[in-house]
Each structure stands twice: as C-alpha cells, then as structure tokens.
A and B are shown apart, each in its own frame.
Chain A
Amino acid sequence: MYVAVKGGEKAIDNAHRLLAEDRRGNPDVPELTIDQIREQLKLSIDRVMTEGSLYDRDLAALAIKQARGDLIEAIFLIRAYRTTLPRFGYSQPVETSDMVLDRRISATFKDLPGGQVLGPTFDYTHRLLDFMLAAEGKEIDAPETVETDTDETPRVLEILARNGLMEPPDGIETDGRSEAEKADVGDLTRDPLSFPTNRDLRLQNLARGDEGFLLAMGYSTQRGYGRNHPFAGEIRFGTVSVEFVPEELGFPIEIGEIEMTECDMVNAFAGSAEAAPQFTRGYGLTFGHCERKAMSMALVDRALRSKELGEPADAPAQDEEFVLSHSDNIQATGFVEHLKLPHYVDFQSELAMVRRMRAEFFGEDDDASTAEAAE
C-alpha cells in the first residue's frame, strides 16, 4: 500500500499546478488583489478572522484568495498560520461598553437611551438582486451625514439590572469558582477541552465555532429543543481599543483597534427554589461584523447554561459535550475529509471480514474465502 502512495508524488504536484491555474481562472479577467478582497468582501474577512481565531485583515484576505473563496479552507489556513506566531501574552479584557458604535439596536426597548442606530445593515433590504451592481464603476450615493450627538449609550441589560430584573453578568449563582480561579482564564489553544467545562471555555469554543453549526443549534432552541424564549436585548457593532500590559513596561498600553460584534440576548427565567423569577443572559462576541454568528453564539451560550439554572437539559443545544465537541469546523472538516485519503489497508481488512461473514452466512468453506481475501 505504501508503494502506491509514494507513486503519487508527480500526480500530486501536477494536481496542485492545475489548482493554481484554476484558481487564477480566465487570464483575460483581471486578477483579484488582496486589497480588493479586504475592502469589498469584508464580511468574508470577518468570518475568517473570527473562526480562524486571528484578527488580521490582510492575512484573512490572502487566505480567501488562496482558498478560492472556500471560507472553511481559508479558516484552516489562518489556524495553521496562527500556530507559527509567538504569543506575547493576553490582552486586558476589551471594554465593549466603550465601543465606538457603528450600529446598536435593541429588540426589547423602542426608546432606549442613546437610540437605535442601524449602521450598515442588510436589514430592511428587499433581498432583490441589484443588477446595477453588475455594472462596474457605478457611482454610489454618498451616505447622509448629520451632526453627531453625544448621547450616552448604556448597555440595555444594565438598565434591566438596575431594577433587579436581570441576573448579574456572570449569572445568578457563581459556578463555584473563586475570584482567583476566575482570573485564571481557560485557554483552548493551550489545554484541550475536558468536561464539564466552565463558561470561559464555552465562550472561547463558541467564538471559534462554525457559524452554520451555531446557527442551526441556536435555531433548534427557538423551535422548541430547549426552549428559552430569547429577545435580542442589544446588538452592537463597532470599534474597540485593545490594551495589553507588556511585561517590560508594567503598565497597560493600547496596541490598536479592532472591530467587534456583540450580542446580549435576554431570556425569561421562571425562577427556581433559590432564585426569584428574572431575566437571564446569553452572550455572543465576535471579531469584525458577524451579527448572525454573535446572535447564534448568544443563544447557544444561554442554552448551555441550563444546568446552572436548574432547567431540564434534554435538548441537543443544552448538551455541552455534544455542542462543544462538534462546533469547530476545522476539527470537523479534518475528520470528515480525511475519509477521502487512502484507506486501502483498512478497507482490505473490512473486505476480508465481510467475505468471511458472507461465507459463514451461506455455509461455504471458510478456508476458501480467507485465501481469497489474502490476495
């Protein structure tokens, strides 16, 4: 079997050269540049950065180009590159309350302080193909500009919290960890996941998780598999500064700005023996503008808190081992796609076994079938 694998070298080489030519497409059409991908396929970039777990717009654009637009392949490239970077350390937790907002909406309060700001959104478009976009070089109408006000934009969930209607950010009850233990934030890139998990690891897993998988899981909770009746308390998209404390300086410095999307989901909670009825939280946070992902993450985060809240946990989205073990699209694609690699020896053994079983089934002489399989 190994001989056959060695013999593929030339074919593999040629296949990759063919891939390179196909990637380029018709040479009469101008080649895509990294700048074009970065500037015009922003939401692809944002997804690749979030699930690739590395914020770098240019690298994400390069990965998308190399992967011919296959976003999971691009995420794979980013994950592989990420492992080559020395890690300088961990940032201070970003202050999303101080986000410079590009968008901020709430589905729970019409007149929230600071107002509803739509920002750049597909919401309220008619989803009709715009054939004008097929004509290149079309002038776009410059967006309207108004004088900015300086209204405060408090977090919607904190407005509820002031009235005691909302649980604290870390939940009604602590998960039994001390402050010191909480300061020791789990990191999936350093230690593999083991169950049961804490919320920090769950949130990291979900943040890296596949948007489609989380969307389906979140959707399942809405359809009744672990119903928890969500409202989009607040969705924010904008820019935050990242602070880091270099060891050699000993004080925090801002090292740059990143775009983020945040979703605070509000879920009614009927209360338990210990806790009064109130609202509970699900949380989603992503790099860039990944609103569907942030919302799905918040739904699944809340579903995975069912045990902590003493709710019946019998739906797939409430099963942390099921959700967290299958959310990563690179692990998933690795295992699914490895099936296409040579399994000749494995299959030979299966073949021999099935032949033997068939021989037994038909009452044939066992020796003959074994001899055949050994060929």
Chain B
Amino acid sequence: MTVETQPAAPAKTDGGPDASNPASAAQRERQAWMSILAKAESKDLADRIGRLQNLPAYSVIRPAECGSVMVRGRAGGMGAAFNLGEMSVTRCVIQLTGTAEAAVIGHAYVAGRDKQHAESAALMDALLQTEQWHAAVKEMVITPLANVAADARRERSGKVAATKVNFFTMVRGEN
C-alpha cells in the first residue's frame, strides 16, 4: 500500500445545483469524504476507526435501516432518464454528544445491507464536521481508505490495459 497523501477523488458535482458556487467548497469536501466512506470495505473502515483513540460519545438518531434506491440510467447513455433497477442501501443518522460541538449530526447512505458500515460512516461524517476531530479522521481514516481504493483501481486498470488491442494494418503484395 502506498502511503503517499493524494487528494481524495472529488465527488462529481457537475450539473449539481451548487457546482459553481464557491460557498459550497465545504459541501464538496463533505461529498468527497462521504463517497470514500460509502465505497470503502466495511472491514477496512472498522479497522481504520479502531485506530482512533477516545472516540466521543454519540446517540443514534435514526438507527441503521436497510432499504433500496432505484437506480436510473439514461436512454443512449445521455438521453432521458429511465428506471433500471434497485440497489440495496443502508442509511443511518447519529448525533455527537461527547464533543464541544454537541449538535453535530452525521449522515450516511451506503450501498449494501451492512448496518455497522452505515453507523460507522455516519459517525465519521459527524467527526469530520468538527474542528476537534477533522484532521485526525482525515489522516487516519479518509486518506488511507482513498489510497486503498486508488491502489485497487490502479492494479485493476493495469490488468485491463494489457487487454487493449493494438491493431495493425496488413499491407498486401506491394513489398
């Protein structure tokens, strides 16, 4: 695993309502960490959280709940939307109680049916919004998880790239 600190893949906000609004820089940052938390393997996330010391107390506002989101595609990939099929999703909302900024609420929507994953992601979302915890969670959880994902992606695309066809034209007869 590389330890280089590379910026987390920015969440795609093209076309979003606040895409060009500089005031939404904080929102974009939050979108980026929520994406990393949702896409991480549950056990990797748990492992990373395990390295944080003295986590503050929190109360669960909306207990982790499994449900679905209907995934939409577009006709021709770029045209009008249609409903393709659902995916399982688990959501959770928690509120920090043991920090100076007590009202901070963390949200999570994560693919799959892993309730622990959703609750952990919601807790990290809340901590990342606090001054006290932001840097630590970013360094101990978000950046390493982003690196794991980037490494996996790089390894996979290397294998895929090896299957790229290099066509050459057969020249007939002339020489």
Contact = CB atoms under 8 A, between A and B. Distances in A.
Interface of A: 49-50, 52-56, 58-59, 82, 85-98, 100-103, 110-111, 115-119, 143-149, 155, 157-158, 168-171, 182-183, 185-189, 199-201, 203-204, 207-208, 241-244, 246, 248-249, 251-258, 262, 264, 281, 283, 285, 287
A170 B78 CA distance: 8
Given A53-B86, A157-B77, A264-B77, 12 more contacts: A54-B88, A55-B71, A55-B88, A56-B88, A85-B67, A88-B67, A89-B69, A91-B69, A146-B162, A147-B158, A208-B85, A253-B109
Given A85-B67, A87-B68, A200 B87 contact: no
Interface of B: 11-13, 16-18, 24, 27, 31, 34-35, 38-39, 65-89, 91, 93, 107, 109-113, 153-167
A320 to B, nearest CB: 15
Given A116-B165, A169-B77, A188 B12 contact: no
Contacts of B70: 87, 89-91, 187, 189
A246 B107 contact: yes
Contact of B74 (A169, A171, A188): A169
B67 A87 contact: yes
B88 to A, nearest CB: 4
B34 A207 contact: no
A68 B76 CA distance: 36
B146 to A, nearest CB: 13
Given A53-B85, A241-B12, A283 B77 contact: yes
Sorted nearest first, the 4 A-B pairs with minimum C-beta distance are A256-B111, A169-B79, A169-B76, A55-B87
21 contacts: A50-B85, A53-B86, A55-B85, A55-B87, A88-B67, A88-B69, A88-B91, A103-B163, A146-B164, A148-B161, A169-B74, A185-B80, A189-B70, A203-B82, A244-B69, A246-B91, A246-B109, A255-B38, A256-B87, A256-B111, A287-B84
B81 A85 contact: no
A118 B158 contact: no
A256 B37 CA distance: 9
A169 to B, nearest CB: 3
* Majority secondary structure of chain A interface residues (helix, strand, loop or mixed): mixed
A204 B82 contact: yes
A251 B16 contact: yes
Contacts of A199: 75, 80, 82
B38 A90 contact: no
B109 A82 contact: no
Contacts of A100: 153, 157
Contacts of B156: 102
A111 B114 CA distance: 44
Nearest to B17: A251
A95 B89 CA distance: 19
A254 B34 contact: yes
Contact of B83 (A170, A185, A243): A185
Nearest to B93: A248
Nearest to A244: B69
A96 to B, nearest CB: 5
Contact of B68 (A88, A94, A246, A251): A88
A264 B73 CA distance: 13
B159 A204 contact: no
Contacts of A50: 85
B115 to A, nearest CB: 14
Nearest to A298: B76
Contact of B73 (A96, A155, A251): A96
A88 to B, nearest CB: 5
Given A186-B83, A253-B38, A254-B34, A97 B78 contact: yes
A338 to B, nearest CB: 25
B86 A185 contact: no
Contacts of A146: 158, 161-162, 164
Given A145-B158, A251-B16, A251-B31, A203 B69 contact: no
A251 B27 contact: yes
Contacts of A93: 72-74, 81
A118 B166 CA distance: 11
Highest count of chain A CB atoms <10 Å: which of B65, B153, B156, B164: B164
B11 A91 contact: no
Contacts of B67: 85-88
A248 B34 CA distance: 15
A340 to B, nearest CB: 29
Given A85-B88, A169-B74, A254 B39 contact: yes
B75 A143 contact: no
Given A144-B162, A155-B77, A254 B107 contact: no
Contacts of B162: 143-146
A115 B165 contact: yes
Contact of A249 (B107, B158, B164): B107
Nearest to B16: A252
A169 B80 CA distance: 8
